[in-house]
Amino acid sequence: MGATSVHRTVDAVWRMESAKVIAALARYVRDVGLAEEMAQDALVQALEQWPEQGVPRNPGAWLMTTAKRRAVDQIRRRENFARKVEEIGRDVQETTPDAAEGIEDEIGDDLLSLMFTACHPVLGTEARVALTLKMLGGLKTEEIARAFLVSDATVAQRIVRAKKTLADAGVPFEVPEGPELASRLASVLEVLYLIFNEGYSATQGDDWLRPELCAEALRLGRVLAELAPKEAEVHGLVALMEIQASRTRARTGPGGEPVLLLEQDRGKWDWLLIGRGLKALERAEALNQPPGPYYVQAALAACHARARKAEDTDWQRIAALYQVLAGISPSPIVELNRAVALSMAFGPAAGLALVDEIAGEKALQGYHLLPSVRGDFLVKLGRTAEAKAEFEKAASLTRNERERTLLLERAASC
């Protein structure tokens, strides 16, 4: 095996094993920052040794053992950590590459702890995202930087600060229990969905890594669903991401222009992912827990996914689900979406009535979709002069050139 080929293998092994190595080390040293540094040291040794000595039979266990030895070396230098040295030293003796399969169960709990730690609310959103991709996704700093269109130094700084914040705050390396679990889980789910959306919204541009973000969020969501199978919202989020990801190929036209959901060629949807999404939704439903926002959004996505043709869409169910969502996560945007669903289910007058109710909402001032949606309802009701004014207003508010052209065309046709 040539050096390049070995490096590619090292990269692959690192992506697969780094989270497990960091998680297992963090259990001993109780400091994810330190654990990550030791895992990185093991990676450097692998890059030095494997091209000459060959890739070991069990590279994951090799990384784990090497990192734990580094941990022992580090901690030996600190007198007050004598107990931990004994603990890890014993473990290194026991953890031979051949014995690695036996630690898989422990690893599951450690991985879950690592997810909760990397997504701890004490960290800002950007820090949580960067730390999750670095420690759980095995992405390099430069890969994260490229994905988020920022410099390597910015991401590196975010990660360093995040690790320091966790250490300063004394965040315990554990899976939260009791009432804390719900809010901490919400934080983890938020991070995964943010990562997914960062990839999903990147339909323009040619940076290959942005779709990779989508895939990584989906993978981490599936891992989380395996680790926390009794949490309906986890399955809800997985269902939502699977179904949204299924539309990737249909979301843009030949010129890269966005294609709206109802105008998409459903033959281009990925029916394997839709099937997986619907199954994840069933798992969430089977748990009989109060509906959470991800579950409801997944149920909404499923309504579209189940319709083979746009005209088969069950708009009455969609309108009802938006009402449930408005009860869980009230927002003017949800209400605007509900107005569209009401219009499709019961006619434009029903949609217009709701739009007029929420038109005064502060959050919607300056939001181009409010006049755009209102204009659409007015056209359907034959009130073309009012519709024209609404489309012109929407065109003046949007920052997207392609959308502005479309809205002005609609105004001109009134």
Partner 1 sequence: MRFMVFVRSPSPLAALHGDALRHAGVLLDAGDLVPGACGVSGYWLIDVRDHEEAVERVKRIGLPACVVEIRQVAVV
Residues at the site binding partner 1, with contacts judged by CB under 8 A: 8-9, 11-13, 15-16, 59-60, 101, 104, 108, 212, 215, 218-223, 226, 270, 272-273, 276
Q: Which is nearer to partner 1, 12 or 261 (CB)?
A: 12
> Taking the complex as a whole, how short is the minimal distance between the CB of residue 130 and partner 1, in angstroms?
19
Contacts of 226 (CB under 8 A, 6+ apart): 108
Please answer whether residues 124 and 187 qualify as being in contact, where contact means their C-beta atoms are separated by less than 8 angstroms: no
Q: Which is nearer to partner 1, 207 or 226 (CB)?
A: 226
Burial of 219 (C-beta count, 10 Å sphere; 0-12/13-18/19+): middle
Q: Which is nearer to partner 1, 84 or 222 (CB)?
A: 222
End-to-end Cα distance, the chain = 68
Phi-psi region of 138 (alpha: psi -120 to 50; beta: other; left: phi over 0): left
Please answer whether residues 112 and 227 qualify as being in contact, where contact means their C-beta atoms are separated by less than 8 angstroms: yes
Is the alpha carbon torsion for 369, 370, 372, 373 positive or negative? positive
**Of residues 103, 1, 84, the one with CA closest to residue 38:** 84
The whole-angstrom separation of Cα 229 and Cα 280 is 10
> Taking the complex as a whole, how short is the minimal distance between the CB of residue 8 and partner 1, in angstroms?
5
> Taking the complex as a whole, how short is the minimal distance between the CB of residue 399 and partner 1, in angstroms?
32
Q: Which is nearer to partner 1, 67 or 223 (CB)?
A: 223
Q: Which is nearer to partner 1, 220 or 340 (CB)?
A: 220
> Taking the complex as a whole, how short is the minimal distance between the CB of residue 213 and partner 1, in angstroms?
12
Please answer whether residues 121 and 33 qualify as being in contact, where contact means their C-beta atoms are separated by less than 8 angstroms: no
Q: Which is nearer to partner 1, 62 or 377 (CB)?
A: 62
The whole-angstrom separation of Cα 242 and Cα 244 is 6
Amino acid letter, 270:
D
- In three-state secondary structure terms, 252 is strand
> Taking the complex as a whole, how short is the minimal distance between the CB of residue 97 and partner 1, in angstroms?
12
> Taking the complex as a whole, how short is the minimal distance between the CB of residue 239 and partner 1, in angstroms?
14
Rg (CA), the chain: 25
Please answer whether residues 391 and 407 qualify as being in contact, where contact means their C-beta atoms are separated by less than 8 angstroms: yes
Q: Which is nearer to partner 1, 90 or 249 (CB)?
A: 249
> Taking the complex as a whole, how short is the minimal distance between the CB of residue 190 and partner 1, in angstroms?
18
Please answer whether residues 307 and 269 qualify as being in contact, where contact means their C-beta atoms are separated by less than 8 angstroms: no
> Taking the complex as a whole, how short is the minimal distance between the CB of residue 12 and partner 1, in angstroms?
4
The whole-angstrom separation of Cα 55 and Cα 10 is 8
Q: Which is nearer to partner 1, 9 or 252 (CB)?
A: 9
